[in-house]
Amino acid sequence: MKKYNFYAGPSILSQYTIKNTADAVMDFAGTGLSILEISHRSKEFVAVMEETQAMVKELLDVPAGYEVLFLGGGASLQFCMVPFNLLKKKAAYLETGTWAVNAIKEAKLFGEVDVVASSKEANFNYIPKGYEIPDDVDYFHFTSNNTIFGTEIRKDPDVKVRLVSDMSSDIFSRPIDVSKYDIIYAGAQKNLAPAGVTLVIVREDALGNVERAIPTMLDYRTHIKKGSMFNTPPCLPIYSALQTLKYYKSLGGVAALEKMNEEKAAILYDEIDRNKLFKGTAAVEDRSIMNVCFVMNDEYKELESEFVEFAKGKGMIGIKGHRSVGGFRASIYNAMTKEGVEALIATMKEFEKAH
Ligand SMILES: *Cc1c(COP(=O)(O)O)cnc(C)c1O
């Protein structure tokens, strides 16, 4: 049976990515060696690193003055690396979910944190609006897509201070105006590659303004100077990332992906709103086009685990919601096809008919 992967992360990758990665595990770039065992200093791997950086710049239209890095430690390490490198006295954070909470916790180790707005009181089911960002903060940090709660900020904010965003679960899902940002970071395991590498796009002139000593490995400038080769980079995930980026380019780039993502999300939300069994959990205007969260309507609550099993029987894997929301979450990242979303919709309709 065909399986449809709705896991939130690690999550679906394109068949192109998986096939080319598997080929390189057997024979990388005609070297007769596996990508798993080749030196990161070999000319073949150096070429991969350079091409991957160039592809990120091309797809996201990264302007001059920015560097593209591939680092270890996951997005979670960026929660501390960002304030380590940028926070002098005070930073502003938007609290929109679990990952934002984690980022705030780390920033507090380095200075004052002004949580400008929060939707915590409503279990993060919406994005706060109309908040003000003080002029005297070193930067403003927000999570563009709240993977667990299914809310998303899809417009690059206009702010007067430096701007930092955790885009782990929606990078490459739409065009972004990189010039508005000072740091963008994203763990690879949602829209890019297998787990193990984090993409960081950093504006060089945002660095070097703090007084504190920064450990070598946690200083962005170390990795800029060495082209992400200060120490051994995660070679395999970077190779996979390159395949994904080539695939995205072949589809027409991020503008084309955005159109596809909007279409997929729209038909799935339409079904959630129409189907008598289900209801969405996120505020309609803030609904994510990457992670679609929904629950059973109150009168059908007892059917919840039955639906997960029913869906599994139809090849739908990973739709159980995160424990902090419950219900279901269909992660429909870039690599999820419209056909996969249609298969889920058909499953929801069939389950409705049976009840
Ligand atoms: C998954 C996720 C993270 C955590 O990423 P790690 O690489 O596991 O540290 C952080 N932020 C967001 C928005 C995520 O979706």
Predicted local confidence at residue 42, as pLDDT: 97
Query: Is there an atom of ligand 1 within 6 Å of 74 CB?
Result: yes
191 neighbors 171 (Cβ within 8 angstroms): yes
Predicted local confidence at residue 9, as pLDDT: 96
Predicted local confidence at residue 304, as pLDDT: 95
Atom of ligand 1 nearest to the CA of 167: 13
Atom of ligand 1 nearest to the CA of 147: 15
- Is 274 one of the annotated binding-site residues? no
Atom of ligand 1 nearest to the CA of 77: 9
352 CA to middle of ligand 1, Å? 34
Predicted local confidence at residue 146, as pLDDT: 98
CA nearest neighbour of 124 among 100, 142, 144, 149: 149
Per-residue pLDDT of the chain (355 residues; tens, 9 = 90+): 899 999 999 999 999 999 999 999 999 999 999 999 999 999 999 999 999 999 999 999 999 999 999 999 999 999 999 999 999 999 999 999 999 999 999 999 999 999 999 999 999 999 999 999 999 999 999 999 999 999 999 999 999 999 999 999 999 999 999 999 999 999 999 999 999 999 999 999 999 999 999 999 999 999 999 999 999 999 999 999 999 999 999 999 999 999 999 999 999 999 999 999 999 999 999 999 999 999 999 999 999 999 999 999 999 999 999 999 999 999 999 999 999 999 999 999 999 999 9
Pairing of strands 66-71, 198-203: antiparallel
Rounded to whole angstroms, how far apart are CA atoms 265 and 262? 5
CA nearest neighbour of 8 among 227, 288, 237: 288
Active site amino acids: 99, 166, 190
Pocket test for ligand 1, best of 7, 11, 71, 76 (most atoms within 8 A of CB): 76
- In this structure, the number of other CB atoms found within 10 A of the CB of residue 55 comes to 18
